[in-house]
Amino acid sequence: MQNTVVKVAVAGSGISGAVCAATLARNGISVTLFESARGPGGRMSQRREVSDDGRELLFDHGAPYFTVTNPDVLSVVAEWESRGLVAEWKSNFGSFDCSNNKFVNTEHHKLERETKKYVGMPGMNSICKALCHESGVESKFNVGIGKFEWLEHENIWSVMGLGGQHLGHFTGVVASDKNIASPRFTAVTGQPPPLDLTLAPELAKLQNIPVHPCFALMLAFNDPLSSVPAKELSFTNSKVLSRAFCESNKPGRSSTSERWVLHSTMEYAEDVIAQSGLVKPSKETLSKVGNEMLQEFLGTGLSIPQPFFMKAHRWGSAFPATSIAEVEKCVWNEKKKLAICGDFCVSPNVEGAILSGLAAASKFKSLASTL
């Protein structure tokens, strides 16, 4: 099918938006992708940092890896693997009980060890990078969406930037950000949400989607943490830490230093945000969070040395606490040619986001074939 008459604006270059955009472009639909950040990825971003002594340090500070069970997603991931965009991470898994400072093993952990873990190559954002630059996808970074306006008399969308600039007219719109019509957008930016909830009855589902926040702490050590027997850890009975991942153990990563990413518990992140608010956290707040997370890690009794680099990052609305379109896999209004996709539609993980992006693309593919 070739139908370049259909022009679709995709907001957000996380895995859901990127999958949707690339799928549409492969089917001859003209796609313009808008992303407020410098590059693609969303929570699949890779963070580049430089240590005081000039060493480059790369961290997957969002999603550390992903697993797949759905046949449609398995097919997509197999294609990515054939292109060298993903590889299996064969890490060993452990669970650490902070109440008695011991590793514990259960059948659940055994099952988790046997599940294939995939990582982007050479970073988690490599998948989104490739998808956003596929033929037929015009990607515009550092461009945040300020307003989606439906022009009823013309049956098209007018898209405006955060500064009020006109970004173009489009046949349809895909939004892959759960905050696109949420008061949380206003709390963060001070501006009204880009999408008016009254435009379509389906959008009511987007109002105040509950989310779980998380802090990530990036650490780099001169020497391997030989006292830690696993490269991926979950923590039990800790109020501060939930998981830890050895970044430098992943395939395709530099091993010149040992790098770890720690994730906080939801409760810890909520407590910090309750005190500091949803605005961008200050350096002081991030420094305090980083020190508290590091002390919890050092306090495990695992003989962990002091890192030569540490930096905390806040994911303010990291994980959706509900699924708003488990059956449909995306929110769709055919009259206005509007799709909402993301992990919040299906399940709060990478696989759910991919499924939702594919579903949104499918709606437009079906629509385009009738035009």
Residue 176 or 104, more confident: 176
Percent of the chain surpassing pLDDT 90: 81
Q: Give the residue-averaged pLDDT of 171-186.
A: 89
Residue 104 or 32, more confident: 32
Position 184 confidence tier, pLDDT thresholds 50, 70, 90 = confident
d(CA 349, CA 343): 6
**pLDDT at residue number 165:** 96
**pLDDT at residue number 179:** 85
Residue length of the chain:
371
Res 190 pLDDT > 50: yes
Q: Model confidence over 336-352: pLDDT tens digits?
A: 999 999 999 999 999 99
Q: Give the residue-averaged pLDDT of 190-214.
A: 90
pTM (predicted TM-score) = 0.94
Tell whether the torsion through CA atoms of 175, 323, 46 and 281 is positive or negative: positive
Residue 182 or 127, more confident: 127
Mean pLDDT, all residues of the chain:
93
Q: Model confidence over 222-267: pLDDT tens digits?
A: 999 999 999 999 999 999 999 999 999 999 999 999 999 999 999 9
Residue 3 or 59, more confident: 59
Res 78 pLDDT > 90: yes
Distance of CA 134 to the CA centre of its chain: 20
**pLDDT at residue number 111:** 52
**pLDDT at residue number 232:** 94
Q: Give the residue-averaged pLDDT of 190-203.
A: 91
**pLDDT at residue number 20:** 98
Q: Model confidence over 107-125: pLDDT tens digits?
A: 455 555 568 999 999 999 9
- Rounded to whole angstroms, what are the CA distances from 86 to 124, 159, 199? 8, 34, 39
Q: How far apart are the first and last CA of the chain?
A: 11
Q: What would the two tokens of residue 236 be?
A: 């039990």
d(CA 119, CA 343): 18
Residues 6+ apart with CB under 8 A from 100: none
Strands (E) across the chain are located at 7-11, 30-35, 47-50, 56-59, 86-88, 93-97, 102-104, 118-120, 137-141, 145-151, 156-161, 166-170, 172-175, 211-221, 232-236, 241-246, 258-264, 309-320, 331-333, 338-340
**pLDDT at residue number 114:** 66
Closest CA to 95 of 203, 235, 286, 272: 235
Whether the ω angle into residue 213 lies within 30 degrees of 0, i.e. cis, is: no
Q: How open is the CA angle 355-356-360, to the nearest 5 degrees?
A: 120
**pLDDT at residue number 113:** 55
d(CA 129, CA 144): 18
